[in-house]
Amino acid sequence: MIHQSDEGPGPATPGDAIKIRARGINVFYGAKQALFDVSLDVPEKSVTALIGPSGCGKSTFLRCINRMNDTIAGTRVEGRVELDGEDVNDRSIDPVVLRARVGMVFQKPNPFPKTIYENVAYGPRIHGIATTKPELDAIVEKSLKRAGLWSEVADRLQQPGTGLSGGQQQRLVIARAIAVSPEVILMDEPCSALDPIATARIEELIDELRNQYCIVIVTHSMAQAARVSQKTAFFHMGKLVEAGATGDIFTNPRDGRTQDYITGRFG
Amino acid sequence: MLTWVALLALALFSGATFFAARRKALASVGGRPVGLHSLPGYYGGYVAIWVAIPAALVLLAAAGFGGRLEAGLLRATPAPSVQALDAQQRDVFFDDAVSLSEGRQASESVYEGALKSALDSAVARARHLKSQITYGALASALALACAGAGFAFPRIRPDFRARNRVEGWIAGLFILCSVTAVLTTVGIVGSLIWESWRFFQSVSPIDFLFGMDWDPQIAMRADQYASSGAFGAVPLFIGTFLIMIIAMLVAAPVGLFSAIYLSEYASPLARAVVKPLLEILAGVPTVVYGFFAALTVGPLFREFFNGIGALLIGGGLDGLGQYLSQVQNQMALVAGAVMGVMLIPFVSSLSDDIINAVPQSLRDGSLAMGATRSETVKKVVLPAALPGIMAALLLAVSRAVGETMIVTMAAGLQAKATINPLDTVTTVTVQIVTLLTGDQEFDSPKTLAAFGLGLTLFAVTLTLNIIALRIVQKYREQYD
């Protein structure tokens, strides 16, 4: 079922182009429906936060954008997710190409059991972005610098990435994601396994990356959503309840459930 | 017979004390189990254990060692006429006395005069001793059972910690079982080392480990041919190694690839069908693989090579043709290939477990980077699983080296130092079988050589297993 309305639910932050346009998304895990008719606009070059209680479908929505739901057997996605006006679920779209454009950072840092260098070089290698060693070196250095990790690992690039601390691992994974120059970065609770100091570093990083990428972040922390995002969408029981400029959502929510959630009455 | 009846009676008695003790425990708190330290059953169990275990030990000891005690007591007081006999005759005399006392057939020895009367009195004494031992055991078992009840029953009070005591007994039982396994292993290794040491008294370890000539047939009589025997085990090591290599060439790729298919590509339905089928392959007895190799695969391979040989004869490769047309049923290739098939489920099931242990988050990470599934398997999953897979392969090697039945039936018996897979070779295990089957005298180097081979084999497989387990352990720590 394709819901062809051009009217976004909730006002997008003014003056921003729309990068991702989702319309009428339903997701089923087997017989269980996880998302109900979700429509959301994600603006370019800004951070959009998805908040809501556990199991509300915000991660499921995130995984629709780079088609990671394809990797779970028995999952069915209905509706339209447009990236720059192109439906990512279209038959002509190769998920492999799509995922090179839409990077993803997971809840738990998942560096590959390889060296720091090889972790970052992984994407450029498989996509054939760099052909010579100096090119690859340059990409690795640039990505690590942009992820704010270069100064900490420059002298030990050949050591295993799994030997870093949790916060460093998460920044390594972000470096790995931006090494293939994606347009969108999806972050699924990127700080939930980190301590407050490491969290602060990641949040700083997200704020810097906002200038170049469209970032969608799922978070359980209302404070984090308020700090890093420009737009916030509140999910509840598989439905998108409310979406709008972060300032509006937190100071002046229109829906009672949003109000209850952000004031800590449930969730 | 009497012992079994007594054990049955003891079981019934101890069962009765169980219920009596349970009832007493409940009665002591007015029927409310909350007032007891332990559940009522533990009080019953505590008393039942004290009744049954000591008495049962006495009965079993009497059944197991009573005969020896009887013989020992009988020999302790020999009549003068018996003392006059030599040691061997005396043994026969006492064996006969015991046999006659039990109504069994005695030996054909003839006893006359003083010996005859000595025999009669020995038979009577044997009967007397036997009944003394049996009834003594029964009486002491009864006394112990009663004493156990008398000791344990009065201790039942609401604050008595029956559960801790019963659990102590149960823990003791577990320790006993594990100690039995450990002691058995120690015993086996000990006997292996001892007999090998005896073997190395007559054959130098250097000659054994580095000698190129294996011919263990030692003549029984001095005038027979081949009276010396040769114990250079290198041809056996080469044969074992050759067959192991062939087996691994079959098992490693097939097993590994099927594990990759099962864990990464198979749909749940395919997995549900294929995995049990592979496990059936693992359940086929090796002797079945053995005659499959000897009767089916061997002739098949021979015909194949003979056929190729026939085509080549007369051509440019005439020599090779001549050779191939004379290949026999028994060859290293047949034994190795069939052994490889046997090892496939072993390798695939271990590798499947190891690949499944690679965290899903790594696959997700790679897929989310835009890697294809095959890139994910090749560049992330397999490198992460590699140490574990190496360990699985090492375990498979150690099984291949120790495998006996297939090679006995399909590899041959000739000890040849060759790496030609079409030739007949023999392995360490095959030689152990041939050295030890049939009537053997246990003091000739020929028989003892089996222990030398066994010790070598044991050292090799033990080393392989230790290395493999070390690797697996290290690998586990990586993700915990």
pLDDT tens per residue across span A92-143 = 888 888 999 999 999 999 999 889 999 999 999 999 888 899 999 999 999 9
Distances (CA, A) of B10 to B46, B150, B424: 15, 15, 61
What is the pLDDT at residue A256? 87
- What is the pLDDT confidence band of residue A11, given thresholds at 50, 70 and 90? very low
Measured between alpha carbons, how far is B129 from B349 in angstroms, rounded to an integer?
Answer: 60
Least confident span in B19-28, B64-73, B148-157, B437-446: B437-446
**Owning domain of residue B186:** 161-202
Assess whether B173 and B297 both reside in one domain. Answer: no
Query: Among B417, B428, B445, which residue's Cα sits nearest to residue B204?
Result: B445
Query: Among A58, A86, A24, which residue's Cα sits nearest to residue A219?
Result: A58
Assess whether B151 and B176 both reside in one domain. Answer: no
pLDDT of A4 over the 50 cut: no
Domain end marker among B158, B191, B221: B158
| Residue B460 per-residue DSSP state | H
Measured in angstroms, the CA of A250 and the nearest CA of chain B are apart by 32
Q: Concatenate the DSSP letters of all residues of B337-375 into one string.
A: HHHHHHHHHHHHHHHHHHHHTS-HHHHHHHHHTT--HHH
Closest residue in A to B266 (Cα) is A73
Residue A2 counted as domain residue: no
Dihedral sign of CA atoms A147, A153, A158, A159 in order = negative
Find out whether A21 and A203 touch, Cβ atoms under 8 Å. Answer: no
Give B439 or B477, the one with higher predicted confidence. B439
Give A253 or B222, the one with higher predicted confidence. A253
Q: Which tokens hold the place of A245?
A: 């400029």
Assess whether B273 and B349 both reside in one domain. Answer: yes
Q: Identify all chain A residues contacting B362, using CB atoms and an 8 Å cutoff.
A: 110, 112-113
For B149, the 3-state DSSP assignment is helix
Measured between alpha carbons, how far is A81 from A233 in angstroms, rounded to an integer?
Answer: 16
| Residue B226 per-residue DSSP state | -
CA contacts within 13 A on the Cβ side of B415 = 22
Closest residue in A to B375 (Cα) is A126
A128 in contact with B, Cβ within 8 Å = no
Assess whether B67 and B45 both reside in one domain. Answer: yes
For the segment B314-363, what is each residue's pLDDT rounded down to a tens digit?
777 888 888 888 888 888 999 999 999 999 999 999 999 889 988 999 99
Residue A238 counted as domain residue: yes
Residue A92 counted as domain residue: yes
Assess whether B220 and B289 both reside in one domain. Answer: yes
Pairing of strands A32-43, A18-29: antiparallel
Residue A9 counted as domain residue: no
What is the pLDDT at residue B374? 92
Q: Which tokens hold the place of B382?
A: 């397999």
Contact B478 A113 (CB under 8 A): yes
What is the pLDDT at residue B480? 47
Domain count across chain B: 3
Closest residue in B to A187 (Cα) is B368
**Owning domain of residue A192:** 18-262
Mean of the pLDDT values across residues A156-162? 91
What is the pLDDT at residue A64? 92
What is the pLDDT at residue B413? 81
Measured in angstroms, the CA of A196 and the nearest CA of chain B are apart by 23
What is the pLDDT at residue B333? 92
Assess whether B434 and B329 both reside in one domain. Answer: yes
- Chains A and B: how many Cβ contacts under 8 Å? 70
| Residue B90 per-residue DSSP state | H
What is the pLDDT at residue B245? 95
CATH classification of the domain holding B370 = 1.10.3720.10
Q: B286-290: long-range contacts at Cβ-Cβ below 8 A with a sequence spacing of 24 or more?
A: B286/B342, B286/B403, B286/B404, B286/B405, B286/B406, B287/B405, B287/B409, B289/B338, B289/B339, B289/B341, B289/B342, B289/B405, B289/B406, B290/B338, B290/B405, B290/B406, B290/B408, B290/B409, B290/B410
Least confident span in A71-75, A92-96, A131-135, B233-237: A71-75
CATH classification of the domain holding A225 = 3.40.50.300
Domain count across chain A: 1
Assess whether B134 and B23 both reside in one domain. Answer: yes
Residue A3 counted as domain residue: no
Q: Average pLDDT over chain A, rounded to whole?
A: 88
Q: Identify all chain A residues contacting B384, using CB atoms and an 8 Å cutoff.
A: 112-113
Assess whether B139 and B221 both reside in one domain. Answer: no
Please report the residues numbered 63 through 92 in chain A whose beta carbons come closer than 8 angstroms to any beta carbon of chain B. Answer: 66, 68, 71, 73
pLDDT of A65 over the 90 cut: yes
Closest residue in A to B387 (Cα) is A113
For the segment B86-134, what is each residue's pLDDT rounded down to a tens digit?
888 888 888 888 888 888 877 777 777 788 888 888 888 888 888 888 8
Q: Concatenate the DSSP letters of all residues of A53-121 into one string.
A: STTSSHHHHHHHHTTGGGGSTTEEEEEEEEETTEETTSTT--HHHHHHHEEEE-SS----SSBHHHHHH
What is the pLDDT at residue B366? 93
A123 in contact with B, Cβ within 8 Å = yes
Give B110 or B407, the one with higher predicted confidence. B407
What is the pLDDT at residue B322? 84
What radius of gyration, in Å, describes the C-alpha atoms of chain B? Answer: 33
Assess whether B121 and B143 both reside in one domain. Answer: yes
Among A100, A113, A162, select the one facing B383 at the smallest CB separation.
Answer: A113
What is the pLDDT at residue B422? 87
What is the pLDDT at residue B310? 87
Mean of the pLDDT values across residues B20-49? 89
Mean of the pLDDT values across residues B458-471? 89
Count of CB atoms within 10 A of residue B442's CB?
Answer: 10
pLDDT of A2 over the 50 cut: no
pLDDT of B221 over the 60 cut: no
Assess whether B448 and B318 both reside in one domain. Answer: yes
The three-point CA angle B127-B130-B136 to 5° equals 135
Assess whether B167 and B269 both reside in one domain. Answer: no
Query: Among B246, B280, B194, B218, which residue's Cα sits nearest to residue B454?
Result: B194
Find out whether B243 and B421 touch, Cβ atoms under 8 Å. Answer: no
Assess whether B245 and B369 both reside in one domain. Answer: yes
The percentage of chain A sitting over the pLDDT mark of 90, rounded to a whole number, equals 56
Angle subtended by helix axes B234-260 and B428-436, to nearest 10: 120
What is the pLDDT at residue B439? 66
